[in-house]
């Protein structure tokens, strides 16, 4: 899939997705990890220094509320729509959030940082 941000999702090219134990469907493990952090720490600036030492450095360095993370927060607002308990995999993949993801790859102001970090071609 050609796009302006030069993103190539290797997971999608291989028709692979992450299905969490709770039924949530995500495009890859990178998104799954970010979603887990975002759900656990909705306001990373409120995490005390030294607490959760394994995650603290990454949480504090990662701005979940910047322009590229609007899509991550959009996913959280659409949890039910992206869950296999409520919709089939084809319905989820053709749904609103996944289309927002695909569209974001053509807009440098909307592309998720996780896509830029792991899937952008040089």
- Please tell me whether the overall predicted TM-score, pTM, comes out greater than 0.95 for this model: no
Judge whether 34 and 72 are in contact, CB under 8 Å: yes
CA distance 96 to 102: 10
Mean pLDDT computed over 69-73 = 78
Beta-ladder partners of 25: 19
Helix (H) or strand (E) holding 18: strand 18-19
Residue 122 has pLDDT above 50, yes or no: yes
Q: With cut-offs at 50, 70 and 90, classify the pLDDT of residue 87.
A: very high
Residue 51 has pLDDT above 60, yes or no: no
Q: What is the pLDDT of residue 83?
A: 96
Q: Is 1 exposed, middle or buried (0-12, 13-18, 19+ CB in 10 A)?
A: exposed
Helix (H) or strand (E) holding 84: none
């Amino acid at each position: 899939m050609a796009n302006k941000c030069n993103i190539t999702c290797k997971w999608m090219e291989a028709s692979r997705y992450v299905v969490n134990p709770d039924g949530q469907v995500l495009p890859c493990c990178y998104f799954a990890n970010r979603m887990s952090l975002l759900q656990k720490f909705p306001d990373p600036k409120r995490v005390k220094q030294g607490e959760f030492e394994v995650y603290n450095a990454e949480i504090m360095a990662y701005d979940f509320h910047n322009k590229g993370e609007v899509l991550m927060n959009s996913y959280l607002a659409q949890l039910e729509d992206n869950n296999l308990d409520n919709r089939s995999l084809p319905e989820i993949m053709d749904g609103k959030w996944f289309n927002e993801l695909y569209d974001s790859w053509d807009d440098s102001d909307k592309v998720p940082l996780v896509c830029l970090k792991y899937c952008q071609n040089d």
